């Protein structure tokens, strides 16, 4: 049995009232980040009981779903990796595994009222915040997500597994299950870059060996600054092709990538100071 399998956190008690559970308001327009292969606005639903795949930590049952985001690009990437980052000793990743992944900056279209697992008061409701962020017992954490949703909350703020000292935070936001990314007006994507462009900084911050990090010329970019979505037709091209093809707004694509890369480096500096 691994440490992640030793669970003390239980599900909510039958009929437990969560009125007054510590919460905070996440304001409309807040910028967050998501690492993904499908669209950036994907709300995952919990699988049926007995399914071999247990779903995500705070998944809701269909037709509802949960969107997982973080407050900085590198934390979003770390959360997407999950056990591949934390359970290997020493952790070693292959850059080729990130092909087709994107890290998108997105802005929340609504105000969200989220359960706040950073509050010391959660213990009074039977919540062990550290286990909510790290336990492999997803049936328990999903039961809490359902209870929070039923009590009128829109999500949960918690500490990501890779950062127990609260240098970063993750959000699990509730909504309708499925991919909402095609509706750019309602679910805006500010910018998106291939995850491989962040692997150098990721390796330094998390002290993880990443094998075969490609050069910028080898990393495919997407015309228009948005990742492809399911059923979409966004053209993925190499960096050199983008430079040579003015019809695809290569300057905008390069600028988006440069902007996110520079913001990430600033966060790397702050992360180390923390």
Strand order in the sheet with 112-116: 23-26, 112-116, 155-158, 170-176, 64-70, 31-36, 102-107, 189-194
Model pLDDT, residue 134: 87
Backbone angles phi, psi at 164, to 5 degrees: -70, -10
Mean pLDDT, residues 217-227: 60
Q: List, for residues 157-176, the tens digit of each pLDDT value.
A: 999 887 755 679 999 999 99
Q: In this structure, what token pair is assigned to residue 3?
A: 């440490």
Q: List, for residues 99-148, the tens digit of each pLDDT value.
A: 999 999 999 999 999 999 999 999 999 999 999 998 889 999 999 999 99
**Dist. CA 209–CA 174, nearest whole Å:** 34
**Per-domain boundaries in the chain:** 19-273
**Dist. CA 44–CA 172, nearest whole Å:** 10
Strands 112-116 and 220-222: unpaired
What's the burial of 3, exposed, middle or buried (CB within 10 Å: 0-12/13-18/19+)? exposed
Q: What does the DSSP assignment read for 68-110?
A: EEESSHHHHHHHHHTHHHHTSSS-EEEGGGGTT-EEEEEE-SS
Stated pTM of the model: 0.79
**Dist. CA 57–CA 75, nearest whole Å:** 16
Strand-pairing partners, residue 65, are 175
Model pLDDT, residue 208: 87
What's the sign of the alpha-carbon dihedral 86, 89, 90, 95?
Answer: negative
């Amino acid at each position: 049995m691994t440490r992640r399998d030793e669970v003390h956190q239980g599900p909510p008690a039958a009929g437990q009232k969560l009125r007054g559970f510590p919460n905070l308001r996440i304001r409309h327009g807040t910028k967050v980040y998501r690492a993904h292969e499908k669209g950036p606005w994907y709300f995952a639903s919990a699988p049926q009981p007995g399914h071999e795949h247990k779903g995500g930590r705070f998944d809701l049952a269909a037709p509802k779903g949960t969107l997982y985001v973080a407050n900085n690009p590198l934390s979003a990437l770390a959360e997407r990796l999950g056990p591949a980052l934390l359970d290997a000793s020493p952790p070693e990743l292959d850059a080729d595994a990130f092909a087709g992944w994107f890290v998108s900056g997105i802005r929340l279209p609504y105000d969200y009222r989220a359960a706040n697992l950073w509050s010391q008061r959660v213990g009074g409701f039977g919540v062990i915040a550290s286990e909510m962020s790290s336990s492999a017992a997803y049936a328990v954490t999903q039961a809490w997500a359902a209870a929070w949703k039923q009590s009128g909350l829109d999500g949960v703020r918690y500490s990501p597994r890779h950062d127990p000292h609260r240098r970063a935070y993750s959000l699990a936001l509730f909504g309708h299950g499925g991919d909402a990314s095609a509706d750019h007006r309602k679910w805006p994507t500010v910018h998106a870059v291939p995850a491989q462009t962040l692997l150098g900084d990721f390796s330094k911050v998390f002290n993880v060996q990443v094998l075969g990090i490609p050069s910028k010329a080898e990393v495919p970019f997407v015309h228009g600054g948005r990742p492809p979505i399911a059923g979409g037709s966004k053209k993925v091209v190499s960096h050199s092709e983008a430079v040579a093809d003015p019809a695809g707004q290569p300057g905008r694509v390069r600028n988006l990538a440069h902007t996110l890369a520079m913001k990430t480096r600033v966060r790397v500096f702050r992360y180390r100071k923390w």
